[in-house]
Homo-oligomer: A and B are copies of this chain.
Amino acid sequence: MNEPGILLTDLYQLTMMQGYFAEEMRETAVFEFFVRRLPPGRNFLIAAGLEQLLDYLAELRFTQPELEWLSGCGRFHPDFVESLAELRFTGDVHAMPEGTLFFPEEPILRVTAPLPEAQLIESRLINIMQFQTLIASKAARCVLAAPRKLLVDFGMRRAHGAEAGLLAARASFLAGFDGTATVAAGRQFEIPIFGTMAHSYIQAHDDESEAFVQFARANPDHVVLLLDTYDTEVAAHRIVSLSGILQDEGIAIGGVRLDSGDLAEHARRVRRILDDGGLSSTTIFASGNLDEYKLRELISVGAPIDGFGIGSRLDVSADVPYLDCAYKLEEYAGCPRRKRSEGKTTWPGRKQVYRIREAGKLHGDIVTVENDPQPGEPLLQLVMRQGRCLNRPAALSELRSRAAENLAALPEGLRTLECSSAYPVEISGALRDLARTLDQAGS
């Protein structure tokens, strides 16, 4: 499939740009990206996706074939299309660093650019920022539910397309997962990759024991054997029987995987079989329809499982598959703007978010207008100036450390999987005054 490129945008961005072109509206616009409200059950979100967004902005341009297609589609003036040939993103971007926890009403990204540029990028900007934020936030819940367990992203096959599969690996690793099964994510982002074996490998052999031995010999340093193709406990006994032969060849059975049935009960029985067979250092890995709720349940009943492969429900964020997020115009040509649609009112102007900590824990945030210093740390930082990134992308490991530090600083009440009382986000007096002034001025 071709790269969808710059035309991966909504048609109305281009028709509006045609309007701006006719009106010569090229003054500076300020748009902010934020989440309106937390989804059910979520107590926080984790900002992610900035690196991919900055890549997109830095490379933004129309190719000649794209311009020709626009010329021929019957909707655009030739002079407007011609103007697009020169279009680049020349604006500034302020953003919370990836891995930062955030809450509703807080802009996590601000774009300051000539109106047509800031307008055009809306659709893909949301597309990029929402997805990784969604997955990082879901993954963080798994990390909270299963501390000190090995957590691996298994979900690429049921992610929504190629990019989703690849970036779900990035977002979940950023949020604290130990790695992914997706090889391309290992290559592109240097994320540790994990793999076991599939049922088809066992089925392709006439004999389960033979399959185990052959797999171990072919992959002697990474032996994780799948037990549930036919009968889990029978397979566990087979592994004990084979362990001596393999040991003589210098091969250790690193782990076994369970993928169906009552995972806690199977894990207990398999643990006993392995321990009785002298394989107490062989770990048990489980997969199959897992999510943070199932992890919590397995851990609460003391299931002797060392690691988990989390698939579909992570990569599609199954209980909350999208965020109520928006990218809204907050200022144009120096004047703050405010949308007042029912249930979708926005706070106007350029904003900053300050975060106050007490005894190391997140204590409360203040959203205010820019240049209205408040106690605490300002979270939005300038990351792109006039279309150029100010820094090289941070290493993924650094973003992952930030997420871990943020999660460690999360107040106790917000660490549960259920919805708790909201984290305090204060709207400053200055911001309320600005909104009131705008409302009084009318539209």
Contact = CB atoms under 8 A, between A and B. Distances in A.
Nearest to A31: B200
Contact of A316 (B52, B126, B316): B316
Interface size class of A (residues with CB under 8 A): 35 or more
A359 interface: no
B162 A214 contact: no
Contact of A8 (B11, B69, B156, B316): B156
A296 interface: no
A391 B328 CA distance: 47
Interface string A1-25: 1111101111111111011111101
A341 interface: yes
B19 A218 contact: yes
Contacts of A286: none
B261 A198 contact: no
Contacts of A328: 199-200
A344 interface: yes
Contact of A229 (B9, B207, B341): B341
- The copy count of this chain in the complex is 2
A229 B183 contact: no
Nearest to A9: B183
A12 B163 contact: no
Interface string A413-438: 00000000000000000000000000
A75 to B, nearest CB: 6
Contacts of A55: 1
A200 B10 CA distance: 14
Contacts of A204: 20, 25, 29, 115, 329, 332, 337
B322 A316 contact: yes
A159 interface: yes
A197 B18 CA distance: 11
A66 interface: yes
Contact of A184 (B8, B187, B230): B8
Nearest to A75: B222
Contact of A337 (B75, B203, B340): B203
A188 B73 CA distance: 13
Q: Which 7 A-B pairs have the closest CB atoms?
A: A11-B195, A161-B163, A160-B160, A12-B195, A4-B184, A261-B342, A160-B164
Interface of A: 1-5, 7-16, 18-23, 25, 29, 31, 52, 55, 66, 69, 73-75, 115, 119, 122-124, 126-128, 130-131, 134, 154, 156-167, 181-184, 186-188, 193-201, 203-204, 206-208, 214-215, 217-219, 221-222, 228-231, 259-261, 312-313, 316-318, 321-323, 325, 328-329, 332, 335, 337-344, 443
16 contacts: A3-B162, A4-B188, A8-B162, A8-B183, A12-B195, A14-B195, A25-B204, A75-B222, A127-B159, A127-B165, A158-B323, A160-B161, A160-B321, A203-B332, A228-B342, A316-B316
Given A15-B219, A31-B200, A126-B158, 8 more contacts: A3-B162, A12-B197, A16-B198, A74-B221, A115-B204, A127-B162, A230-B341, A260-B341
